[in-house]
Amino acid sequence: MSKLLVVSDNHGDQQILTKILHQFGDQVDYRFHNGDSELSIDSPLVQQFNIVKGNMDFEDFPLENVVNIGDDVVYQTHGHLKNVNQSPLNLELTARSVSANIALFGHTHQLMCTMDGSLLLVNPGSISQPRGEFQMIGGTFCIVDVSTQKFIVDYYDRDLNLVPSLHFQFDR
């Protein structure tokens, strides 16, 4: 089993990333930042994440990553170039084209967790500037448990508390 920490859209708030890493960094196998970090490329925080460039990042981060985790493949992008505000379709097609079974993105500032066939799509929401239905939580990130039988996705708030109503489990 692998554990993935997924965060996005902190928009320069380095303190929250440090807090999350301090609490959960050693409990996970992989750490993903889905863009709009607004961090300097030489920030020590950047070295802690598989990070992609968002529309508000000006450093030379990659626009997308493909990460092999055992038999699983993670496709990661911010999402602005895939038009995720309108539809996840372009994201899904790109993820499938690289044989990914997990697609991570951000940009919308709205959390999302769904399974489309064999593809898990996860947006952790914005940790600093949330929007939409779960805005009142005040910012979210998630941890994805990956096993051969299932995906389990748990969301946490800015105070690092588990949000029980945002627990998702999908059989594979």
pTM of the model: 0.97
Location of structure tokens 């996860």: 122
Torsional sign, CA 96, 21, 80, 153: positive
89-123 confidence digits (pLDDT tens): 999 999 999 999 999 999 999 999 999 999 999 99
Class of domain 2-171: alpha beta
pLDDT at 69: 96
For the residues of 58-96, what is the DSSP string, one character each? -S---SEEEEEETTEEEEEE-SGGGTTTT-SHHHHHHHH
